[in-house]
């Protein structure tokens, strides 16, 4: 990471310095203003020399998949009982290329819809460029038709694994997202998109995963086992069912009176939130691989924090 440490007293041209980063910037009129800017993932801090401490409510980070936050709000505390707030507005940052997403479904496609809607409202810095489905008449395929998203039937007669790889490459797909896709991903696709294929599974892997564990079968098995907790898992895809590196999980309690349908609804609700959060991080290049091969999600607010 490149670091640029710039200090400008407010009596000089701090405003002019900041205007080089944004035309829409406002700087509070305080004396001895110091500004530190770190790039490319930069955080902007402002410190008033009269204050004993400065606390930042928001941080700024520039990620390759998205925009920076538009405002950083800081609190200058002279003592515990007397605090002054001021803010710096940074305006729009340089927009970087959105990621192209392929989504694979076999059923209703509720996670597909959640992801697509998040791309439309800007929560995810990406575009869904193609749907791949194993069932032409499924709800996910119908949603794609309604939204004008191109759809491909796979597996299908006359379309080999290498053909689907070629199709995705022609569409310049960056990431593949499995959202209730019940077929095993062919090794050709795994090799063509290393560390670029995600799946969401409705249990806390590695428990209740593998071939045959999908849909209500998972939730029935969880309840029958007496497990007190379940929840969705987002993991990278390898050549085996549900065995890729775990990226994120969300814990859901299993109630004593739960039916499989009730537990499924509770887990699915969390799936929609978790998958959107993870795909947003993926599109912003905030997935960091630890030395031992474990993937972590870098916080947007604090680049030094991971989950």
For 113-145, what is each residue's pLDDT tens digit?
Answer: 999 999 999 999 999 999 999 999 999 999 999
**Cβ–Cβ < 8 Å for 272, 228:** no
Q: How far apart are CA 302 and CA 306, in angstroms?
A: 8
Interval 165-178: pLDDT, tens: 999 999 999 999 99
Q: How far apart are CA 197 and CA 206, in angstroms?
A: 18
pLDDT of residue 95: 59
Q: Catalytic residue positions?
A: 201
User: The dihedral of CA 56, 118, 168, 244: what is its sign?
Assistant: positive
For residues 223-241, average pLDDT: 97
**Cβ–Cβ < 8 Å for 283, 99:** yes
259 φ, ψ (degrees, to nearest 5)? -95, 170
Interval 76-98: pLDDT, tens: 333 434 444 433 333 444 456 89
pTM, two decimal places: 0.70
Residue 222: closest CA among 251, 263, 178, 163: 263
């Amino acid at each position: 990471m490149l670091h640029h440490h710039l200090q400008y007293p407010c009596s000089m041209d701090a405003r002019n310095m900041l205007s080089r980063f944004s035309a829409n910037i406002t700087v509070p009129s305080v004396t001895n203003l110091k500004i530190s800017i770190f790039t490319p993932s930069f955080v902007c801090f402002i410190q008033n020399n009269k204050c004993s401490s400065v606390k930042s409510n928001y941080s700024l980070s520039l990620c390759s998949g998205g925009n920076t936050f538009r405002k950083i709000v800081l609190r200058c505390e002279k003592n515990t009982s007397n605090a002054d707030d001021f803010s710096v507005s940074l305006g729009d940052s340089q927009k970087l290329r959105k990621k192209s997403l392929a989504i694979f479904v076999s059923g209703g496609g509720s996670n597909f819809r959640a992801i697509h809607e998040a791309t439309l409202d800007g929560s995810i810095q990406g575009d869904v460029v193609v749907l791949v489905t194993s069932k032409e008449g499924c709800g996910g395929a119908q949603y794609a038709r309604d939204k004008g998203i191109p759809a491909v039937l796979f597996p299908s007669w006359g379309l080999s694994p290498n053909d689907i790889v070629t199709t995705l490459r022609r569409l310049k797909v960056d990431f593949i997202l499995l959202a209730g896709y019940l077929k095993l991903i062919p090794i050709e696709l795994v090799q063509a998109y290393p560390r670029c294929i995600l799946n969401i599974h409705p249990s806390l892997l590695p428990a209740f995963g593998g071939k045959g564990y999908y849909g209500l079968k998972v939730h029935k098995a969880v309840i029958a086992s007496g497990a007190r907790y379940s929840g969705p898992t987002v993991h990278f895809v390898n050549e085996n069912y549900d065995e890729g590196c775990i990226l994120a999980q969300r814990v859901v309690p299993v109630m004593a009176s739960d039916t499989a349908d009730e537990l499924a609804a509770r887990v699915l609700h969390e799936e929609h939130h978790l998958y959107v959060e993870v795909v947003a991080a993926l599109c912003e290049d905030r997935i960091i691989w630890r030395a031992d091969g474990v993937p972590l999600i870098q916080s947007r607010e604090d680049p030094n924090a991971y989950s």
